[in-house]
Amino acid sequence: MRNIIKGLLLVLTMTMFVFSGCEKKATAKLTEIEKEIIKRAQKQAVQLDKNVGGTQWSSGLERIAKIKDEHFESPDHEWAKWVVVNNAPSRIHFPPWSDAKIQDYLDKYVPDHIGEWGGPSFNRGDYCRMRGIPSNTTHEYGSNEDLNELGGHSMGTMADNGVARKEDGSFANGGWAGSYLMCQNSPKWHGLQIQSPMRQAVYGESIFHDKFETVLRGLSQGFCKWCNSGFKDYMQDNFGRGELAEMNFEPSEFDLVSYVASKRKSLSPAEMLEDPVIHEYIRFQYSNHLYWAVDVIDQYHQSAAKAGFPIPAFYGNQSGVWGSLPYAVSLSDQVDIVWVEQAHSFQRPLDSDVQAFSTLLWKIGRAASHYKKAVWALEYQAGRKESWPMGFGADKKYPTALANAEATADGGVHCQTWVAAPSNN
Ligand SMILES: [Zn+2]
């Protein structure tokens, strides 16, 4: 009997050895990025498993609570609260500055942080970092729904798995600079978004992401086949069969584009919002966008931690944080620094009726981040003579002083751009 048990143990041990050998051989062929993608897919599969057939409705905040990492209140972000002089003297696509010109600027303005579109070129070769000045880098500029001038390339490689679609199923050039919008519900684009931080996380003390608050639904997009299948999964994960039947939602037959088209025939835009399925569809887009946002921020934090670098502070454009877009306000609790590019049309003397927005952004940003985070904003205080942004002409002292005073009084910090540099006067 003993020998039989011994024999069995031997076979078991050998089997384990063979299998572990196979596993080692298989994993040895994978790159670090591939391993990470597999690990994340497994993690998501476990979460999906928990939801199969469930009628447990989860809010966006409940979903992100499961993935939010421990670095969201990292002591590595403390420096951001002490920034006073916050500058973005150049842009990515501006001609590069010489070292002498950069040094002259640093000597003159003594910035505490180089931000927005300025970091990637200004800090090349770690020029700023080596001199103790934090600077940013950007997350796939324009990012999740906007490839900017890369439109031509995205169509060739991501037309069916990445580029967003309109209600009628067509593509639309709807982004900045006439680019195509991208869909974070498509696996290929989401995969690229997750990979990006692994390379970029170590290049900046902060990470900047434009158009961070832009949910596809708000742009009349979000109707690709991945949105369709993702929405069907969402409905089945969150509602029981009886509830789905009440909504006349049959997963095997449902098609998002034709459903919306058929409802438009009989419902007004206001009535559309009351339709229970469309109501859930809008919720699905917001909830997924929030999940995507925290997922990307997690990757920055974790990639830097793995590489032994300080955890970079993430911030994205929260247009509407002054109260007009509740989703932008809620993002204040998910980022490391609250930030918004405030449109010049919200400033005097262009539209005095909405001057209050520029005060509210500081107050709401501070409160929505529980007074724990730095609140930064960017305004284009003056154009060169009559060039964009219009309104102030050559005089930029008054609007710059006004914006700075307002920010300081309300506990925030402005970022001064190239527009406010003497060279642009
Ligand atoms: Zn989509």
Q: How far is the CA of 314 from the centre of ligand 1 (A)?
A: 25
Look at residue 315 in the predicted model and tell me its pLDDT: 95
- Going from the Cα of 284 to the center of ligand 1, the distance in angstroms, rounded, reads 11
- The answer to whether 293 touches 316, Cβ cutoff 8 Å, is yes
CA of 146 to the centre of ligand 1 (A): 13
The pLDDT of residue 20 is 39
Q: What is the mean pLDDT of residues 270-279?
A: 94
pLDDT for res 145: 46
Q: How far apart are CA 319 and CA 338, in angstroms?
A: 11
Q: What is the pTM of this model?
A: 0.81
Ligand 1 center–CA 359 separation, angstroms? 36
| 274-290: average pLDDT | 94
Please give the angle made by the CA atoms of 156, 161 and 165, to the nearest 5 degrees: 90
**Cα 70 to ligand 1 centroid, rounded to whole Å:** 30
Which of 354, 378, 384 lies closest to 365, judged by CA? 378
How sure is the predictor about 160, in pLDDT bands with cuts at 50, 70 and 90?
very high
- The rounded Å distance from CA 169 to ligand 1 centre is 10
Structural domain boundaries of the chain? 2-50, 64-220+278-424
- Which pLDDT value is given to residue 10? 41
Ligand 1 center to 32 CA (angstroms): 28
* pLDDT, tens digit (0-9, with 9 covering 90-100), for 306-355: 999 999 999 999 988 988 889 999 999 999 999 998 755 444 444 444 56
Helix axes 32-51, 187-200, angle to 10 degrees: 130
| pLDDT over threshold 90, residue 393 | no
> How large is the angle between the packed helices 225-238 and 276-307, nearest 10 degrees?
100
- State in Å: Cα 369 to ligand 1 middle: 30
Of 92 and 363, the one with more pLDDT: 363
Q: What is the Å distance from ligand 1's center to 324 Cα?
A: 25
Greater model confidence, 59 or 150? 59
What pLDDT, on a 0 to 100 scale, did the predictor assign at position 1? 46
Q: Please give the distance, rounded to the nearest whole angstrom, from the Cα atom of residue 163 to the centre of ligand 1.
A: 7
Sign of the four-CA dihedral 199, 201, 203, 209: positive
Whether pLDDT at 396 is above 90? no
Q: Where are the beta strands (DSSP E) in 2-132?
A: 86-88, 113-114
The CA 228 to ligand 1 mean position distance, Å, reads: 7
Give the model confidence (pLDDT) of 8-40 as tens digits: 444 444 333 333 334 333 344 556 665 666 666
Dist. CA 201 → ligand 1 center (Å): 27
What percent of the chain has pLDDT above 90? 44
- Which pLDDT score is estimated for 228? 96
Identify the pLDDT of residue 55: 53
335 or 199, greater pLDDT: 335
3-state class of 413 per DSSP?
A: strand
User: Which position has the higher pLDDT, 161 or 92?
Assistant: 161
**Element holding 414 (H helix, E strand):** strand 413-417
* CA 296 / ligand 1 centre spacing (Å): 18
Model pLDDT, residue 336 = 97
Distance 271 CA to ligand 1 centre (A): 24
**pLDDT over 90 (residue 224):** yes
- What's the token pair of residue 41? 């897919």
> Reduced to 3 DSSP states, what percent helix, strand and coil does the chain have, rounded to the nearest 5?
55, 10, 35
CB 132 within 8 A of CB 154: no
| 375-378 β-sheet, strand order | 113-114, 86-88, 413-417, 375-378, 338-341
How confident is the model over 98-104, as a mean pLDDT?
93
End-to-end CA distance of the chain: 94
Distance 267 CA to ligand 1 centre (A): 24
**pLDDT of res. 99:** 93
Residues composing the chain: 425
Distance from residue 253's CA to the centre of ligand 1 (Å): 18
pLDDT of the residue at 85:
92
Indicate the SS3 state at residue 44. Answer: helix
Higher pLDDT, 206 or 12: 206
DSSP string, 348-374: TTT-GGGTHHHHHHHHHHHHHTTT-S-
What's the half-sphere exposure (Cβ side, CA atoms, 13 Å) at 351? 9
How many angstroms is it from 389 CA to the middle of ligand 1? 34
The alpha-helical segments, DSSP class H, found in 77-224 are 99-109, 119-122, 151-158, 187-200
Query: Are 67 and 395 within 8 A, CB to CB?
Result: no
pLDDT at 37: 61
Q: What is the CATH number of domain 64-220+278-424?
A: 3.20.20.80
CA of 236 to the centre of ligand 1 (A): 18
Distance from the CA of 141 to the center of ligand 1, in angstroms? 20
For residue 260, the CA-to-ligand 1 centroid distance in Å is 15
For the chain, what is the radius of gyration of the CA atoms? 25
pLDDT at 242: 92
pLDDT given at position 342: 77
Both tokens assigned to 297: 């921020």
**What does pLDDT average to over the chain?**
79
Rounded to the nearest angstrom, the distance between the alpha carbon of 184 and the centre of ligand 1 is 7
CA of 339 to the centre of ligand 1 (A): 27
Buried b (16+ CB within 10 A) or exposed e, 200-231: bbbbbbbbbbbbbbbbbbbbebbbbbbbbebb
CA distances from 299 to 37, 74, 218, 293, 302 (A): 11, 14, 26, 10, 5
Tell me what pLDDT residue 209 has. Answer: 87
53 pLDDT band (50/70/90 cuts)? very low
The pLDDT of residue 267 is 95
In this prediction, residue 121 has a pLDDT band, given cuts at 50, 70 and 90, of: confident
